[in-house]
Amino acid sequence: MTTATQNGTRKIVINPVTRVEGHGKVTIQMDEDNHVTQARLHIIEFRGFERFVQGHFYWEVPVLVQRLCGICPVSHHLAASKACDMIVGADSLSPTAEKIRRLMHYGQTFQSHALHFYHLSSPDLLFGFDAPVAQRNVIGVIQAYPEVAKKAVLMRKFGQEVIKATAGKKIHGTGSIPGGVNKHLSQEDRDRLAAEVDTMLEWGVEGLKLCKDVTLASAEKLLPFGTFESNFLSIVREDGCLDLYDGNLRAKDADGKIIFDQVKPEDYLDVIREGVRNWSYMKFPFIHDRGQEKGWYRVGPLARINNCDFIDTPIAEEERQEFMALGKGRPIHATMAYHWARLIELVHSAEKMRELLADPDVLRGELTTTGERRDRGVAIIEAPRGTLIHDYEVDDNDQIRRGNLIVSTTHNNEAMNQAVRVVADQYLEGQAEISEGMLNSIEVGIRAYDPCLSCATHALGQMRLLVQLIGPDGTILDERTRG
Amino acid sequence: MSKPTIATGHFTGCFGCHMSLLDIDERILQLTELVEFDKSPINDKKRFDRVVDIGIIEGGCSNDENVEFLRMFRKNCKTLVAIGACALTGGVPAMRNTVPLRECLEEAFLRGPSVIDGVIPNDPDIPIMLDRVYPAHEVVKIDYFIPGCPPSADALWAAIVALLEGREPVLDYELLKYD
């Protein structure tokens, strides 16, 4: 598992950094003077969806491809459905279908963001990066902050109930189909959810305040932590509004200047390419004309809040303005600001659900539409963790000929590697001995970007790391385990 | 008397079974009273420093690390429960079993329309893929199987409670789903 290198250099291996759909691993090389010379996040699983989706009928794709991810299956379910909309020629959905899909999506964003903040990341923020291992997990939160934990559990439950009411099932549902949805929201479900949504919004605002207070109370430590500058990518609505379900691509540079804007989903190959490195099963996307070195970017809540011009729900918009003021006219680059941005989106999702649950269209109306058949479908959605691209070509028999997926976590690949490098420089540089807190700090940096990488960890109190210092002759000089 | 211990593991799957376990919602507060979660990591043999009472695993085996760690789970769990389609049959990841592995890798890393300067990852720091995806019971003995993609929270809860009470977990018909 761990390899020694030559001439007094050493290699530190963190394995596993667990993620939802597989496992990650960190390796850090240090020279004889304890300088960090290389730090990498390896994604060590590969499943091959692009190939084995070939030959399947396109209408299977919305239920098939969501099995990529059990944390945000709705994102894949909807992205694949939107790509199929293009194939069946459903250029505009019925108001009923669009609203039910949006409700499903906001329910998912709400539950996923709640899970990430409370179950996974709050232990680091509430107890400290180097708090005792026994406490620094969701069980510790349940014991120390039972009221917060209970609300967290009920918020996630609410989001999952919204998904069940719209998709038929909490995980891997079937509600969305090419050209629309397969059922209305029942009156009973609508009434039950509508009765709870105000409480959810209230708790969401409380959660945002908690996140903001914790961040600002330790701003000197948290804002520079694992921080670097980058470009940002997301979709935005045509008028520049934040839109998690639909829109066109916009990219901004580190100063906030537009690199490109309103690029339609079907034209994503004009602006995005992916590099491959032999040490990771995850590819490295970048903005094509800026090249691999300078063209990489970040996606997800921070990118979306930085990129949009405004939010169309009042509480979230007010919070967005307060958040953006931190940047004094430039984008916010702090890694730990992801949490704050994520909570703004959680509040936005609750506001959107409140609107949709009061809308009679979700109870009745046309379910599907159709039009002229096409042989390619491309769709982009903002999954909780970031921009998600599905691209399918079909043949005359309705079978998939080619599939290309660029998922949220992949877009953040270079960014997470940067975070590992920066945290390694901040915490490991010059250190001959490694403490447990240093190890967790590296994970905190990764965790801010990608709930998938940390989910198995704090969610179930399972995470454990093994770090070994190995001498030039291969002997283990120092070893620490945690968990 | 000390509380029973539970370890959970994730192999090649989507983590949806673990999410379904979280869908027991308020009952999770109760569960933390009833059991002690063993913090042993999922895929590192040194993480098991004692034998735990119940191991719950999600996902099949697609690479050499999966196999190694699944064996560690078997060795260190008195009762091993496989949950979900991927652990039981290989599930959706096993769809690659009908295609040669090389073709899957080439499609993703060489031929994809967005790929530039493609290369098939081969660094010693990443695990070696198996020829195909194997269900858990083809690698180790499994004591109980809970089907579903994922099994519902109620099914998981019923099985866990039965095991904690020393009963055979027999799930009612409506809790058994094979999607």
Q: What is the DSSP string of A358-418?
A: T-GGGTSS--B---S--SEEEEEEEETTEEEEEEEEE-TTSBEEEEEEE-HHHHTHHHHHH
Residue A104: the pLDDT is 98
Q: Token pair of A141, please?
A: 């939160």
Residues 379-408 of chain A whose Cβ lies under 8 A from any Cβ of chain B: 391, 402, 404, 406
User: Picking from A308-322, B45-59, B63-77, which range would have the lowest pLDDT averaged per residue?
Assistant: B45-59
Residues A264 and A192 in one domain: yes
User: Picking from A66-80, A429-443, B8-22, which range would have the lowest pLDDT averaged per residue?
Assistant: A429-443
Predicted confidence band at B47 (pLDDT cuts at 50, 70, 90)?
A: low
Q: What is the pLDDT of residues B16-29, one digit of tens each?
A: 998 999 999 999 88
Does A50 count as an annotated binding residue? yes
Alpha-carbon distance A5 to nearest alpha carbon in chain B (angstroms): 13
Considering the domain boundaries, does residue A237 fall inside one? Answer: yes
User: Picking from A20-34, A76-90, A261-275, B55-69, which range would have the lowest pLDDT averaged per residue?
Assistant: A20-34
- Dihedral angle over CA of B132, A61, A176, B171, nearest 10: -20
Residues A437 and A373 in one domain: no
Whether the per-residue pLDDT at A453 is higher than 60: the answer is no
Mean pLDDT of B150-166: 95
Crossing angle of helices A146-167/A95-114, nearest 10°? Answer: 150
Alpha-carbon distance A330 to nearest alpha carbon in chain B (angstroms): 30
Q: What is the Cα–Cα distance from A65 to A405, expressed in whole angstroms?
A: 10
Mean pLDDT of chain B, nearest integer: 88
Whether the per-residue pLDDT at A445 is higher than 60: the answer is yes
The residue that leads in pLDDT, A408 or A15, is A408
Residues A347 and A434 in one domain: no
Mean pLDDT of A219-247: 96
Residues A361 and A450 in one domain: no
B105, B114, B120: residue with CB nearest A272: B114
Whether the per-residue pLDDT at A481 is higher than 50: the answer is no
Mean pLDDT of chain A, nearest integer: 88
Residue A454: the pLDDT is 30
Residues 31-90 of chain B whose Cβ lies under 8 A from any Cβ of chain A: 32, 37, 39-44, 46-47, 62-63, 65
Residue A480: the pLDDT is 52
Q: What is the pLDDT of residues B76-121, one digit of tens each?
A: 999 999 999 999 999 998 988 988 888 888 888 888 888 888 888 8
User: Picking from A4-8, A56-60, A74-78, A79-83, which range would have the lowest pLDDT averaged per residue?
Assistant: A4-8
Residues A177 and A255 in one domain: yes
Domain positions in chain B are 5-176
Q: What is the Cα–Cα distance from B63 to B55, expressed in whole angstroms?
A: 20
Q: What is the CATH number of the domain that holds A262?
A: 1.10.645.10
Whether the per-residue pLDDT at A179 is higher than 80: the answer is yes
Contact A452 B15 (CB under 8 A): yes
Q: Token pair of A363, please?
A: 């109870």
User: Picking from A56-65, A264-273, A374-383, B118-127, which range would have the lowest pLDDT averaged per residue?
Assistant: B118-127
Considering the domain boundaries, does residue A248 fall inside one? Answer: yes
DSSP codes of every residue in A403-425: EEEE-HHHHTHHHHHHHHHHHHH
Q: What is the pLDDT of residues A3-24, one digit of tens each?
A: 345 567 877 777 666 433 446 7
Predicted confidence band at B38 (pLDDT cuts at 50, 70, 90)?
A: confident
Contact A47 B93 (CB under 8 A): yes
Predicted confidence band at A44 (pLDDT cuts at 50, 70, 90)?
A: confident
Residues A76 and A158 in one domain: yes
Query: By the 8 A CB rule, do A198 and A139 touch?
Result: no
Domain B5-176 has CATH 3.40.50.720: no
Mean pLDDT of A384-397: 95
Q: Does ipTM come in above 0.85?
A: yes
Considering the domain boundaries, does residue A58 fall inside one? Answer: no
Residues A382 and A420 in one domain: no
Residues A224 and A302 in one domain: yes
Considering the domain boundaries, does residue A403 fall inside one? Answer: yes
Residue A426: the pLDDT is 92
Considering the domain boundaries, does residue A61 fall inside one? Answer: no
Residues 60-119 of chain A whose Cβ lies under 8 A from any Cβ of chain B: 64, 67-71, 73, 115, 119
User: Domain range holding A259?
Assistant: 69-413
Residues A262 and A278 in one domain: yes
Query: By the 8 A CB rule, do A45 and A53 touch?
Result: no
Alpha-carbon distance A342 to nearest alpha carbon in chain B (angstroms): 20
Whether the per-residue pLDDT at A452 is higher than 70: the answer is no
Q: Identify the domain boundary among A398, A413, A428.
A: A413
Q: What is the pLDDT of residues A108-132, one digit of tens each?
A: 999 999 998 988 888 888 888 888 7
Considering the domain boundaries, does residue A122 fall inside one? Answer: yes
Q: Identify the domain boundary among A392, A413, A434.
A: A413
Whether the per-residue pLDDT at A450 is higher than 90: the answer is no
Residues from chain A contacting residue B36 (CB–CB below 8 Å): none
Residue A247: the pLDDT is 98
Q: Which long-range contacts (CB under 8 A, 24 or more apart) does A456-459 make?
A: A456/A18, A456/A19, A456/A20, A456/B10, A456/B15, A456/B18, A456/B42, A457/A18, A457/A120, A457/A137, A458/A119, A458/A120, A458/A121, A458/A123, A458/A136, A458/A137, A458/A138, A459/A115, A459/A119, A459/A120, A459/A138, A459/B18, A459/B22
Whether the per-residue pLDDT at A82 is higher than 80: the answer is yes
What burial class does residue B164 get, using C-beta atoms within 10 Å of its C-beta: 0-12 exposed, 13-18 middle, 19+ buried? middle
Nearest Cα to Cα of residue A422 among A230, A137, A232, A212 = A230
Total count of domains within chain A? 2
Q: Does A481 touch chain B (CB under 8 A)?
A: yes
Q: Which residue has the tokens 């028999």?
A: A397
Size of chain A, expressed as the number of residues it contains: 483
pTM of the model as a whole: 0.91
Whether the per-residue pLDDT at A62 is higher than 50: the answer is yes
Residue B169: the pLDDT is 92
Residues A95 and A16 in one domain: no
Does A69 count as an annotated binding residue? yes
Residues A442 and A408 in one domain: no
Mean pLDDT of A444-473: 49
Predicted confidence band at B2 (pLDDT cuts at 50, 70, 90)?
A: confident
Q: Identify the domain boundary among A382, A413, A444.
A: A413
Element spanning A469, H or E: strand A465-470
Residues A182 and A200 in one domain: yes
Mark A468-482 as b/e (b = at least 16 C-beta within 10 Å): bbbeeeeeeeeebbb
Predicted confidence band at A87 (pLDDT cuts at 50, 70, 90)?
A: very high
C-alpha angle with apex A226: A221 to A228, nearest 5 degrees?
115
Considering the domain boundaries, does residue A5 fall inside one? Answer: no
